[in-house]
Amino acid sequence: MSLTALAFVVIAAFLHATWNFVAKRIDTREGGGPQLVFLYALLTVVIYTPLALYFLMGTQASWPSALGWGVITVSALLHYGYTLVLQRGYRVGDLSVVYPLARGTGPLLSSIGAIVLLGERPGWLALVGIALVVCGVLVIAGGERLFRRGSMHAGAGWGVLTGGFIAAYTLADAYAIRTLMLAPLVYYYLENVLRVVLSAPTAFARPARIAVLWQANWRKILIISTISPMSYFLILTALKYAPVSHVAPAREMSMMVAALLGVRVLGEGEMHRRVGGAVLIALGVVGLTLG
**pLDDT per residue as tens, the chain (291 positions):** 788 888 999 899 889 888 877 877 776 555 557 788 899 899 999 999 999 888 888 666 678 899 999 999 999 999 888 888 887 887 777 766 777 778 778 888 888 888 888 888 888 888 888 888 888 877 776 666 655 555 456 677 888 899 899 999 999 999 999 999 898 988 999 999 999 998 899 889 888 888 888 988 899 999 999 999 999 999 999 998 888 888 888 887 776 676 666 666 656 656 677 777 777 877 888 888 776
| Helix runs in 59-183, H state only | 66-92, 95-117, 124-141, 151-174
Q: What is the pLDDT of residue 260?
A: 66
For helices 184-203 and 207-238, the axis angle rounded to 10 degrees is 160
d(CA 272, CA 140): 9
**Inter-residue contact 133 to 280 (CB < 8 Å):** yes
Q: Do residues 48 and 185 touch, judged by C-beta distance below 8 A? A: yes
Q: What is the pLDDT of residues 275-287, one digit of tens each?
A: 777 778 778 888 8
What's the whole-model pTM score?
0.80
Domain with 268 in it: 3-290
Q: How many domains does the chain have?
A: 1
What is each CA distance from 246 to 69, 143, 144, 194, in whole angstroms? 26, 24, 26, 29
Non-local CB neighbours of 65 within 8 Å, separated by 6+ positions: 180
